[in-house]
Amino acid sequence: MRDGVINKVAEFIELLIATRNAGKVRELRKLLEDLPLRLRDLSEWPEIAEVEEAGATFEKNAALKARGYADQTGLLALADDSGLEVAALGNAPGVLSARYAGPLASDAERITRLLVELEATGNVERRARFVCVIALARPGIEQVEIFAGTCEGHISSEPRGYGGFGYDPVFVPDGYTQTFGELSPEIKRQVSHRAHALAKARGFLSEQLPDMA
Ligand code: ITT
């Protein structure tokens, strides 16, 4: 009976992946593909107003984005605020990871700045962690659900590999010697900050799906 309800829901529950970052969209689509949801993303709303990341924390910015895009589209919205915390840099770039080398900079320029800053500290401490906060907002419901995940590792001495996006070519997750740029997408889907946050969000989504019809 429960299966019947979920299948029926599958015909019309839509989830908006509320990010403009193509790398995140790719990973989130894959991590959600087996759930009974119709996945949409912001490429279908080219005119939508960008939600400003005015918060000082990942949680606040994820909630702002989920709320803003749910309200603008009328869909259940999943937003991801994430970034890299580097111990020797006082956890910078953190929430400013996307803007670390200026608003128009490329991933390569952000990586270059990171390696230069780290070298200036003497290169001794290279511990780092990726943080991901997923927020889920439903149109018309004030409460926003928040799920966090982290991935511990260190920063490599130079970029390696072409997989993933963002800082992946310089991030070596604990337990591996290769960077996320070199490791397969399957491995990243098992151990990443996004995978851990989404595992928690999936539990909530699965419980809620019948109620959202
Ligand atoms: P949206 O706000 O539209 O989602 P964004 O790229 O601006 O896109 P954030 O403000 O959350 O998103 O910035 C996160 C940045 O952190 C992202 O641009 C990358 O530079 C970095 N980042 C996050 N997750 C990453 C991952 O899995 N691999 C590599 N870099 C990552």
Q: Can you tell me the mean pLDDT for 160-189?
A: 98
Task: Supply the CATH number for residue 172's domain.
Answer: 3.90.950.10
Instruction: Show the domain range for 119.
Output: 8-212
Atom of ligand 1 nearest to the CA of 50: 3
CA 83 to ligand 1 centroid distance, Å: 6
Does 130 fall in a domain?
yes
Atom of ligand 1 nearest to the CA of 100: 20
Active centre residues (catalytic): 81
pLDDT class of 7 with cuts at 50, 70, 90 = very low
pLDDT at 197: 98
CB 152 within 8 A of CB 92: no
Give me the chain's average pLDDT, please: 92
How many angstroms separate the CA atoms of 121 and 108, rounded?
A: 20
pLDDT at 81: 98
pLDDT at 163: 97
Q: Can you tell me the mean pLDDT for 100-113?
A: 96
Instruction: Specify the number of domains making up the chain.
Output: 1
Does 2 fall in a domain?
no
Answer whether residue 2 shows pLDDT above 50.
Answer: no
How many angstroms separate the CA atoms of 32 and 28, rounded?
A: 6
Cβ(196) – ligand 1 distance below 6 Å: no
Q: What angle do CA 97, 103, 106 make, to 5 degrees?
A: 75
pTM comes to 0.93
Does 3 fall in a domain?
no
Does 163 fall in a domain?
yes
pLDDT at 204: 87
CA nearest ligand 1 atom 6, residue = 21
CA 37 to ligand 1 centroid distance, Å: 24
Does 1 fall in a domain?
no
Pocket test for ligand 1, best of 82, 130, 194 (most atoms within 8 A of CB): 82
Q: Can you tell me the mean pLDDT for 185-199?
A: 98
